[in-house]
Amino acid sequence: MDIGSERIRFWNYPLTWGVITLTGKITSIDSYTITIQTNVSINSTADIGNTKSGGATATISNGTYEATTGTLTINGGTVSGKIYNSAILVINDGSFNVLDNSQYGTLNIKGRTISSIGTAGSSAITPLSISAGGTVNISGGTITAVYGSFAIQNSGTLTITNGTVQNTGFADPIAVSNLSTDTVTIHAPPAVITGGTQGTIIWVPPKP
């Protein structure tokens, strides 16, 4: 379904939604195809598209006047977009391509792929960037940067207990960068880190 320059907005005012399930395909030329606010929960297996230059298929944020959270759970399909404030994104399957370098609140990655692919001579955006106060837990899936500065850049709290984080394309790629005083904990094995690390990392078990 092509909704042209319109967008779909889910928020709990004046009535309250239950859990929303999205299937099928939808596209828009608006800045966002879907916006999720004020504690709305969505389970998606849909393919959500956006044809506007610089547009995003989904934005998840707290409400304009309410300090509550929105949740998007991806069980399949492909979504790209931005996460703001205290929003929560849970990936069980499918993929989320981050179009913004600001991650706030809690992000739980359980499977599949977050990726950013550039070309030789130009850097791709870092696929996962964690700002101060943000919390990310990775227990599966793959974070991939091709010609990116980093696969993950951390200024919050990051825990990797499983899955793969990889950065390829450059001669000395950095998979995980932590140049803050916050905590990065990597359980490897079973987690697989392809590329170097930068800054303070707590390895479990400790590296010799």
- What pTM value is reported for the model? 0.62
Domain ranges of the chain: 1-73, 101-208
**Per-residue pLDDT, 164:** 93
Query: Could you read off the pLDDT of 18-28 as tens digits, one per residue?
Result: 778 888 888 88
**Per-residue pLDDT, 57:** 57
Query: Could you read off the pLDDT of 81-115 as tens digits, one per residue?
Result: 666 655 666 666 555 655 544 444 567 777 767 77
**How far is it, in rounded angstroms, from Cα 147 to Cα 33?**
28
CB crowding 27-39: b at 16 or more within 10 Å, else e: bbbbebbbbbbbb
Residue 77 clears pLDDT 50, i.e. is over it: yes
Query: Could you read off the pLDDT of 171-208 as tens digits, one per residue?
Result: 788 999 998 888 999 999 999 999 999 999 999 999 87
**How far is it, in rounded angstroms, from Cα 193 to Cα 202?**
13
CA 138 to chain centroid, in Å, comes to 11
